[in-house]
């Protein structure tokens, strides 16, 4: 065993790490503080790091000025729908690719992995043209259907399924279980951690999505939260206390949620290293 270094060095390092942690999160601290300030208190030099009002006045005003509660409901609906659909379709596709050998199965897999290299910015124009032809502009279908499955999710689950011992399935096959039954009764229960991680990524990605709803949704009532809080509404630009209240509504639930699920999340990233 090595000796612990001197107390001065240890304290310095801890203070340094603490300083960096506060600095990195200062924008969020500042957002929260500003959302609990009066207009006058927000615009002072030197700025005060303490809130001046202790009620949700700015939040109430923000919810009145822009349809914020509507945004929250819309975004929850879309993000949950996408997550549920991806659970179904990604796991089915991943099981097929992990266990069933068919003609060209490796080519299908390679093409799938290849699409991971194509960023959404590249495909947004053709995707928009398709969605428009379907008459889906301003409809949630445009936000849900193209994302019913994802190459990343399929890849993640396939890798996990590959690690499940085949012997478990072979025993079930001898007992006469069908593929579907094996999938539902053996594979899915054993894959809960992977399904959980995938659901977290998917939900978060769609809660945070900005570009695609910006393109396909123009109706303010149907808008997603990220576009809703960042678009300029007249008289909104300089209302920083209200804008910070709106941002808090979009950001704080995610931060709190992240504290509970961070283990699955961060470790998933170290393993796959693929998704933000």
And the tokens for 201? 């990524």
Q: Residue from 11, 15, 38, 43 that binds other proteins (CB under 8 A)?
A: 43
Q: Residue from 15, 20, 88, 111 that binds other proteins (CB under 8 A)?
A: 20
The verdict on 119 binding other proteins (CB under 8 A) reads: yes
Whether the Cβ atoms of residue 93 and residue 154 lie closer than 8 Å to each other: yes
- Say how far residue 62 (Cα) sits from the centre of its chain: 24
And the tokens for 211? 């570009």
End-to-end C-alpha distance for the chain, whole angstroms:
37
Nearest Cα to 229, choosing from 57, 35, 20?
A: 35
Considering only residues 237 to 256 of the shown chain, the ones binding other proteins according to CB under 8 A are 240, 243-244, 246-247, 250-251, 254-255
The verdict on 266 binding other proteins (CB under 8 A) reads: yes
Neighbours of 260 (CB within 10 A): 9
DSSP 103-125: TTHHHHHHHHHHHTTS-HHHHHH
- Identity of the residue, 47 or 181, whose beta carbon is nearer to other proteins in the bound complex: 47
Q: Residue from 106, 180, 210, 233 that binds other proteins (CB under 8 A)?
A: 210
Q: Residue from 11, 12, 14, 88 that binds other proteins (CB under 8 A)?
A: 14
Cβ of residue 274: shortest distance to other proteins, in angstroms? 9
Q: Residue from 126, 176, 189, 235 that binds other proteins (CB under 8 A)?
A: 126
Cβ of residue 220: shortest distance to other proteins, in angstroms? 16
d(CA 91, CA 77): 21
- Residues near 145 by Cβ (< 8 Å), separated by ≥ 6? 136
The verdict on 21 binding other proteins (CB under 8 A) reads: yes
d(CA 129, CA 135): 10
DSSP 63-86: HHHS-HHHHHHHHHHHHHHHHHHH
Cβ of residue 187: shortest distance to other proteins, in angstroms? 27
Residues that bind other proteins (CB under 8 A): 2, 4-5, 10, 13-14, 16-17, 20-21, 24-28, 30-31, 34, 42-47, 117-119, 121-126, 128-129, 204, 207-208, 210-211, 214-215, 226-227, 229-230, 240, 243-244, 246-247, 250-251, 254-255, 258-259, 262, 265-266, 269-270, 273, 276
């Amino acid at each position: 065993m090595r000796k612990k270094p001197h107390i001065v060095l240890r304290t310095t390092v801890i203070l340094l790490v603490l300083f960096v942690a506060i600095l990195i999160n200062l924008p969020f601290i500042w957002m929260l503080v500003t959302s609990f300030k009066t207009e006058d208190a927000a615009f002072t030099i030197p700025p005060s790091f303490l809130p001046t009002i202790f009620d949700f006045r700015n939040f109430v005003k923000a919810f009145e000025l822009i349809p914020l509660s509507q945004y929250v409901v819309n975004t929850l609906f879309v993000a949950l729908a996408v997550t549920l659909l991806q659970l179904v379709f990604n796991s089915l596709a991943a099981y097929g690719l992990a266990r069933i050998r068919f003609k060209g199965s490796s080519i299908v897999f390679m093409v799938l992995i290849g699409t991971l290299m194509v960023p959404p910015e590249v495909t947004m124009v053709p995707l928009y043209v398709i969605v428009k032809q379907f008459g889906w502009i301003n409809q949630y279908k445009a936000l849900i259907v193209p994302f019913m499955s994802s190459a990343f999710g399929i890849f993640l689950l396939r890798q996990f399924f590959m690690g499940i011992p085949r012997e478990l399935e072979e025993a079930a096959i001898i007992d006469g279980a069908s593929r579907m039954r094996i999938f539902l009764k053996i594979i899915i229960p054993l894959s809960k951690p992977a399904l959980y991680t995938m659901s977290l990524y998917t939900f978060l990605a769609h809660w945070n999505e900005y570009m695609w709803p910006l393109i396909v949704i123009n109706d303010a009532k149907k808008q997603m939260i990220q576009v809703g809080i960042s678009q300029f509404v007249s008289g909104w630009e300089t209302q920083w206390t209200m804008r910070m209240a709106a941002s808090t509504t979009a950001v704080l639930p995610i931060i709190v949620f992240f504290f509970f699920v961070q283990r699955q999340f961060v470790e998933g990233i170290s393993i796959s290293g693929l998704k933000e």
